[in-house]
């Protein structure tokens, strides 16, 4: 069973005009075009997230100083 939900969107007048023209050109409803565009956008987002390579990892050798200890942090930064 397919359920459709009615909703209200605020869309720029120029975008709506282009949507009307494209729907007429394709012989489809504006709702069909908006739904297709949203599906494509959401599917691309999922594909983009799934295709991201894993970030590189390395061993930094451990912390040289507790960054919460301001005096020690400055001492190490200044090379004292």
Using one digit for the tens of pLDDT, what is the confidence trace for 20-71?
Answer: 999 999 999 999 999 999 999 888 877 666 666 788 887 877 777 888 888 8
Phi, psi of 2 (to 5 degrees): -100, 130
Contact yes or no for 40/46 (Cβ under 8 A): no
pLDDT attached to residue 50? 64
Contact yes or no for 72/66 (Cβ under 8 A): yes
**Cβ neighbour number for residue 31 with a 10 Å cutoff:** 12
pTM: 0.54
Q: Is residue 13 pLDDT above 80, yes or no?
A: yes
Contact yes or no for 39/31 (Cβ under 8 A): no
**Where on the phi/psi map is residue 79: left (φ > 0), alpha (ψ -120 to 50), or beta?**
left
């Amino acid at each position: 069973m397919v359920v459709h939900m009615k909703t209200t969107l605020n869309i720029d007048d120029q975008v709506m005009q282009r949507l009307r023209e494209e729907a007429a050109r394709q012989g489809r409803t504006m709702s069909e075009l908006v739904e297709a565009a949203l599906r494509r956008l959401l599917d691309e987002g999922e594909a983009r997230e799934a295709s991201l390579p894993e970030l590189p990892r390395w061993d930094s050798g451990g912390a040289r100083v507790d960054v919460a200890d301001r005096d020690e942090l400055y001492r190490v930064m200044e090379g004292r």
